[in-house]
Structure 1
Amino acid sequence: MLDAMPYRAPDGCVVWTGNGVALGVGFMRVLAEEPTDPTIFTFGKLVITCDIRFDNREELISALSLDKGVREAEVLAGAFSKWGLDCVQHFIGDFAFIILDLDNGTLFAARDHMGVRPLFYRHDDAGFCIATEHRVLVAPGAPFRSLAQDEVLHQQVADFVVGRDYQEHTIIFEGISRLPAGSRLLRTPGQAPVVETYWLPTANPRSESDAPAPAELRAVLEMAIACRMRAARPVGSMLSGGLDSSSISCLASRLSVADGTGPIDTFSIVFDDNPNLNERPFIEAAVAVGTFKPHFLSFSGYAPLENLEELMRVQGRLVNSPGTVLVYKAYQAISAEGLRVFLDGHGGDEVVSHGLARVNELASVGRWRDVWRELAGAGRLNGESRIAQFILLFVRHGKYKGAYRVRRAFIKAINWLTPPPDDLLQAKYRNLTTSAPKRLAETEAARQEKNLRSAHITHVLEHLEIIAARAGTQPRFPFFDKRMVEFCMSLPSSSKMKDGWTRLILRQAMEGILPSKIQWRTGKFDFAPHVGIGIFKHHVPMLEDIISRNADEVGEYINLDIVRPILKEGKRNVRSLDGKSIQILWRTAALSLWLRQKKKAMK
């Protein structure tokens, strides 16, 4: 299993065996407190393998009466000895660990609150396996049989084809499951593992009169960043020019200046061959206000399917991310500079939230002037008509004679006018796709809670973690700090959306930190045009082969009659294609490559 993940062991690997159990670890040293060699720790009757960064380390050390210089594994062992399975309730940070108790043969494993560190497991008649990557569980070796010989979970393939978020914690092959974020697992010899949730993101919004000040959010975010800058080597930062990455990079710069560690290396993706589709002006504005060593990564001539087959092999599952190759090359650039750890702004949209469901709350109590004002911000973000959104909300929430009949008629009309979303998927699989969520009447608190609890976030974090590991790096996400999540879930919707501005409290918190063109920017960068341009510059023969020959039998799932005219139109004028059409082309190619990998695994 370790041999299948050599990129996870730049500093070596080690195996422990005993009592019919084997534990192994591939080691990449990222904390100064860690040993220089790969280690499986033994503390009395406890055997531990772990990937941990405790952000409340000092608090734990004090509670456990340990020396300040102890390793994270020693803190874990002390916590488990004192609190047992409930030790996870005391932890803050990113972690995945396995503890084997030699006294009774039980195995205890856990994953951090938001699932930043991955864990997957498999249990059948042959025994029990648990690993950082699910791919190595497909065929871990005797006595386990290879799951690659079995049918895939067609629902997950169907969801991938139509672009739906995965809702379940099974992973493409029947018999492999992820340990969900905020969960712990206990396996007693001869018994099936028992999985329990120890934490869930829970909305508890304050009243508007008791809303936290923006300075409080900034303090929590600074704390989350500072914790993630603890490393054995200097820490870099992704800088896209957006609100999230710029906030993190600029706050990290201030922290590095304060402790005298020097400028922060930033890594930014630019497309200088197309100035109208380039974030360089925003990136340079952020660089100008901090102490940075900027790296501009030019992706002129970007080929979005280049090396995708190898990345699909490493992923071992379908990932709906057209920017996969782009992100992987950026991570490689970080590694090439000698850095292993970097900060990433991913999660800001979900954790701070745009507050878009606030309009539902306002409409439900008849505050129509406020609804109209806030829809200005929503329209800037999602590009939808302000009037159309207002009409929809009025029909849904308005109190008028005959409102019930009007609502029923309106819903029927919408259903009739909206084309079926699953035409791309072959008919025999359409009943398998996950239903699209109904969100017309959700409050902001309910929507944010649903988003942060979704398997989709865990899935994305796993995707980023594995391609970072493949590049020899480790991403850290300040917005997914447990304290940051809990703080933002205590915010009233007015802190997130007000006076036509989304994510208002973060913008206010960055006063004096960010240049105004970033602090108050209203749009987000769209990579879709670059994916489309790259596909038609480099990959038309591949797509033509897939469509004409049904290469890799992709037509089993995808209706190629839908794809064919999109490819034809793109060859005529790629800029005429919308984001949905570009996604269809990318998913067709990605599914073909994944099916090819599955056939190779079966052989």
Structure 2
Amino acid sequence: MSAITGIYRRSEEQLDTNGLTRMARTLSHRGPDGVGIWSGGSVEFGHRMLYTTPESRHATYPLQRGKYVLTADVRLDNRAELIAELDLERRRNRPTTDGELLLAAYERWGDRCPNRLLGAFVFAIWDDEQNRVFCARDHVGIRPLYYHLSDNLFVFGSEIRALRASPDVPTPLNEVRIGEHLAGLFEDKTGTAYRSISRLPPAHTMTVTPEDVTSRNYWTPDPSRELQLDSDQAYAERFKELFEKAVRCRLRSTRPVGATLSGGLDSSSITTTAADLTPDQYELPTFSAVFDAVPESNERRFIEDVIDETTVAPTFVSPNKTSPLPDTDGFASRDGPIAIPTLYVHRELCRAASQRNVRVLLHGFGGDSTVSYGFTALPEYTHTGYWRRLLHETECVADRFDVPVRTVLWGTVLKPMIPSLVRDVWGRVQGWDSLIERINSTIDPEFADRIGLQERIQRFEIDRPPVKDFVRGHHYRNLTSGFVPFSLESSDRTAARFGLEVRYPFLDKRLIEYCLALPPEQFLRNGWSRSILRRAMGTRLPDTVAARVWKTDLSEAFSSALITHERDRLEKLSNSPAHVDAYIDRPALQQAIDRLLTDQTLDDARPVWRALTLEDWLRGLSFS
């Protein structure tokens, strides 16, 4: 996790060299280990360095070689393969850096080089021969890239605050994104809180020349491929092999590597595997959030079971001792209103890891997307005529969750088959006036109509690529959801504040492609969801964790923290003029706040929180 910045005057005007210096200065928190600026007339690149791999200590950016100049935030996980394929000579005094590998890949394969890379990366290359800037972002969007593009200017950076530091970048607010924030909609992979600033989507390249701009999607997981192996054991062994490889390649670090540990299947699998792959004398630092005062959200007993059976050095944090809202300083410099309620938990885990001198943090995010729960196999069995398998799995699921069989049949088989139009009609019968009201009743109806919010929500539903079968279609949509890069970008900004790089083994491209190609029964077997993960981990997981069939809901903890720490601000928001009045139905917000403070209704916590985070951000902008 370093930082990149750049300015390209497409009209070939000379640059004001102070402009990029100001941009790079705003990203100093991302790169305390070094700063670099390269200027080439109409093009200027910047870089902030954070050492997180042994090779990064030997890297210097921007990197110039012949007719190319590179600035990059990169960690390559297939270094050995690339070195062999590119026939690079082994250096005597230092290792080949990831940047050198990347430039060699570009020299060999040109625009197709991102297809050959594995890892987390975002980079920009000035190609003097072709008079262009070529940019690329990794397959799932772990590394962010924001940019402003006009007829004569291209400006980019790792955070929006860098672009806002440039006087050449206008920053009118994007009201559509504000509406999406209030609605909890994340599917737009290009929009930001500013109309003139965009995001490069995951697995995309962008080429900018004086005359033209082109963008290309270079990778999409293939939902049509199905893998057939000889036995369940073969599937599990292959998964274990890929998973261990995904964890191992993410253990390269200049400082101790830590891991978040929640006691769930994903974080526990990462922790126990990482502990097995590290030297015996090394105790893996783990960081766990506990909510002892909120039993419904507390996973301490599962966390302690993992700790008891694994060589780790645990640290416990209590996020609910702090507010779930962002810190009160620096509102104007934030990239937009904070949109993920549980981000405060991640913030406190990162704070604890930084205090333990950890620079790399393994995280279980992406596990739910990569390793499907498999419940969509049940409606698929009805379509394919596997009635015995349907009955068997339905009975087993009902037994695992201790619910009637009819509840499973309705929730997982019949309800998903009801067309959305019928559900809309039923909603109106129940008294819901509109889709917006169902999602967030505090949104001002006139504002929603003005930006076409309801139509936008419906369009994102319709535009999902069709995949015939239930299991792979649902799996594919989860993997390609806009929520994935949005969450990664939010996590990235939070971790950067503490000088951390977060790594996600479950988002390894090889593991994603393997899991998407698995037959449905590898995910749901004898009522056990995510069956292949449970079988592959074997005895690594404590029995209590391996037998978990549910995820802990943090809604109670979040609601409790919001009421405890922000009661005064909520009361002030409901009783005084606010910046959100242009977007919020004030009477509806008042009712939601009253219900939250008196009855502690969970359904009101998120809409109220979204209004409050939007107010904080807008208030900060008014003082910038």
TM-score relative to the length of structure 1: 0.89
Q: For residues 407 and 238 of structure 1, what CA distance do their matches in structure 2 show?
A: 38
Q: What secondary structure, in the 3-state scheme, does the structure 2 residue paired with 1:196 have?
A: strand
Q: Which moved more, 1:453-462 or 1:429-438?
A: 429-438
**Superimposed CA distance per residue, residues 423-447 of structure 1 (whole angstroms, 9 cap, x where no aligned partner):** 2221121432412737998611112
Residue 20 of structure 2 corresponds to which residue in structure 1? none
Structure 2: distance between partners of 1:291 and 1:415 = 55
| One-letter amino acid matched to 2:221 | P
Q: Is the 8 A contact 1:169 1:455 kept in 2?
A: no
**Aligned pair partner of 2:362 in 331, 343, 350:** 343
Check whether the contact 2:189–2:199 (CA below 8 A) recurs between aligned residues: no
Deviation at 1:36, TM superposition (A): 5.6
Identify the residue that residue 454 of structure 1 maps to in structure 2. Answer: 481
SS at match of 2:55: coil
Distance in 1, matches of 2:515 and 2:247, equals 16
Q: 1:294 to 1:409 in 2, by over 3 A?
A: closer
Residue 597 of structure 1 is matched in structure 2 by: 620
In structure 2, the partner of 1:401 is none
* Match in the other structure for 1:426: 444
| 2:176 aligned partner, one-letter code | Q
Q: State whether residues 308 and 325 of structure 1, in contact with CA within 8 Å, keep that contact through their aligned partners in structure 2.
A: no
Indicate if the aligned counterparts of 1:279 and 1:525 stay in contact, CA closer than 8 A: yes
Distance 2:502 2:79 in 1: 20
Map of 1:573-588 to 2, 5 A cutoff? Answer: 573-574=599-600, 577-578=601-602, 580-588=603-611
Structure 2 counterpart of 1:352, one-letter code = V
Conserved? CA contact 1:8–1:470, under 8 Å = yes
Maintained 8 Å contact 2:570/2:612: yes
Which whole-Å CA distance do the structure 2 matches of 1:360 and 1:95 have between them? 38
**Residue 307 of structure 1 corresponds to which residue in structure 2?**
327
**In the alignment, which residue of structure 1 is the partner of 2:544?**
517
Mapped pair 1:499 → 2:521: no
Distance verdict in 2 for CA 1:96–1:168, change over 3 Å: closer
Q: 5 Å matches for 1:29-68?
A: 29-35=51-57, 38-68=60-90
Structure 2 counterpart of 1:263:
283
Change (3 A) 1:482 1:566: same
Deviation at 1:168? Answer: 3.9
- Distance in 1 of aligned mates of 2:416 and 2:622: 52
Superposed CA offset, 1:262-282 (max 9, x none):
111001111233445421111
Deviation of the 1:407 alpha carbon = 11
Q: Note if contact 1:253-1:291 (Cα within 8 Å) is conserved in structure 2.
A: yes
> Which of residues 316, 323, 341 in structure 2 aligns to 1:322?
341
Tell me the alpha carbon deviations over residues 339-394 of structure 1, each in whole angstroms, 9 at most, x when there is no partner.
11110000000011112321220122344564455457877999998635624777
Offset, 1:397: 9.5
- Per the alignment, residue 365 of structure 1 pairs with 384
How far apart in 2 are the matches of 1:410 and 1:39? 54
Q: CA deviation at 1:593?
A: 1.0
Of 291, 297, 302, the residue aligned with 1:282 is 302
Structure 2 CA distance for aligned equivalents of residues 113 and 263 of structure 1: 32
Q: Bigger CA drift: 540-549 or 354-363?
A: 354-363
What SS does structure 1 have at the residue aligned with 2:241? helix
Match of 2:12 in 1: none
Query: Residue 119 of structure 2 contacts residue 508 of structure 2 at CA under 8 Å; is this kept in 1?
Result: yes
Cα distance in 2 for partners of 1:136, 1:101 equals 23
Give the direction of change, closer, same or farther, for the CA distance of 1:488–1:2 in structure 2 (3 Å limit). Answer: same
Q: How does 1:98-137 map to 2 (within 5 A)?
A: 98-137=124-163
Cα deviation code 1:237-291 (max 9, x no counterpart): 111111100000000000003xx56111001111233445421111111111111
Distance across 2 between alignment mates of 1:498 and 1:226:
28
Whichever residue aligns with residue 426 of structure 2, its letter is A
AA at the equivalent of 2:129: D
Give the direction of change, closer, same or farther, for the CA distance of 1:123–1:409 in structure 2 (3 Å limit).
closer
CA distance in 1, matches of 2:131, 2:374: 48
Q: Structure 1 pair 413/381, CA: closer, same or farther in 2 (3 Å)?
A: farther
Give the Cα separation in 2 of the matches to 1:352 and 1:53. 24
Moved more, 298-307 or 97-106: 298-307
Q: Contact 2:264 / 2:302 at 8 angstroms: preserved in 1? A: yes
| Structure 1 spans left out of the alignment, 5+ residues | 399-403
Change (3 A) 1:309 1:358: farther
Shift of 1:106: 1.5
Secondary structure at the aligned position of 1:250 is classed as helix
SS of 2:278's partner is helix
1:465-480 aligned at under 5 Å gives the runs: 465-480=492-507
Is 1:163 paired with 2:184?
A: yes
Partner of 1:355: 374
Q: What's the CA shift for 1:590?
A: 0.9
Mapped to 1, the partners of 2:477 and 2:461 lie a distance apart of 10
TM-score normalised to structure 2 length: 0.87
Hey, what's the Cα distance between the residues in 2 that align with 1:198 and 1:306? 36
For residues 617 and 66 of structure 2, the distance between their equivalents in structure 1, rounded to whole angstroms, comes to 45
Taking a change above 3 Å as real, the CA distance of residues 341 and 418 of structure 1, as seen in their structure-2 partners, is farther
Taking a change above 3 Å as real, the CA distance of residues 313 and 166 of structure 1, as seen in their structure-2 partners, is farther
Distance in 2 (alpha carbons) for counterparts of 1:380 and 1:567: 39
Contact between 1:357 and 1:442, CA under 8 Å: does it hold in 2?
Answer: no
Distance, in Å, in 1 between the alignment partners of 2:351 and 2:611 is 26
The structural deviation recorded for 1:418 is: 6.7
Structure 1 CA distance for aligned equivalents of residues 578 and 150 of structure 2:
34
1:164 is displaced (CA, Å) by 2.4
Distance 1:485 1:121 in 2: 28
TM-superposed deviation, 1:221: 0.6
Contact 1:341 1:476 in 2 (8 A): yes
Distance (whole Å) between structure 1 residues aligned to residue 83 and residue 293 of structure 2: 53
Instruction: Give 1:591 deviation, angstroms.
Output: 1.3
- Kept in 2, the 8 Å contact 1:156–1:166? The answer is no
The residue that corresponds to 2:198 in the other structure is: 177
Matched, 1:298 2:300: no
Q: 1:251 aligns with which of 269, 273, 276?
A: 273
Q: Distance in 2 between matches of 1:532 and 1:354?
A: 27
Instruction: Please say which of residues 32-41 and 482-491 is displaced more in the overlay.
Output: 32-41
Q: Indicate whether 1:547 and 2:574 are aligned.
A: yes
Structure 1 residues 418 and 525, CA, compared in 2 at 3 Å: closer, same or farther? farther
Which of 410, 416, 421 is the matching residue for 2:429? 416
**Residues 181, 526 of structure 1: alpha-carbon distance in 2 compared, 3 angstrom cutoff:** same
- Looking at structure 2, the residues matched to 426 and 300 of structure 1 have their Cα atoms a distance apart, in angstroms, of 31
Per-residue deviation, 1:11: 0.9
User: CA 1:465/1:379 → structure 2, altered by over 3 Å: closer, same or farther?
Assistant: farther
SS of residue in 1 equivalent to 2:623:
helix
Aligned length: 582
- Kept in 1, the 8 Å contact 2:595–2:604? The answer is no
Of 93, 105, 125, the residue aligned with 1:79 is 105
Distance 1:166 1:569, change over 3 A: same
In structure 2, relative to structure 1, the CA distance for the partners of 1:408 and 1:53 (3 Å cut) is closer
| 8 A Cα contact 1:545 1:551, kept in partner | no
Pair 408,108 (structure 1): closer, same or farther in 2 beyond 3 Å: closer
Report the Cα offset of residue 227 of structure 1: 0.4
- Contact 1:10–1:28 (CA under 8 A) maintained in structure 2: yes
Aligned partners of 1:407, 1:583: CA distance in 2, in Å? 24
Q: Distance in 2 between matches of 1:463 and 1:77?
A: 29
Aligned counterparts of 2:122 and 2:321: Cα–Cα separation in 1: 39
TM-aligned CA deviation for residue 51 of structure 1: 1.4
Q: Is the 8 A contact 1:112 1:181 kept in 2?
A: yes
Q: Is the 8 A contact 2:283 2:311 kept in 1?
A: yes
Q: Distance in 2 between matches of 1:394 and 1:520?
A: 24
Q: Which residue of 1 aligns with 2:9?
A: none
- Sort the Cα spacing of 1:459 and 1:418 in 2 relative to 1 into closer, same or farther, 3 A: farther
- Matched residue, 1:538: 565
Question: Residue in 1 aligned with 2:5?
Answer: none
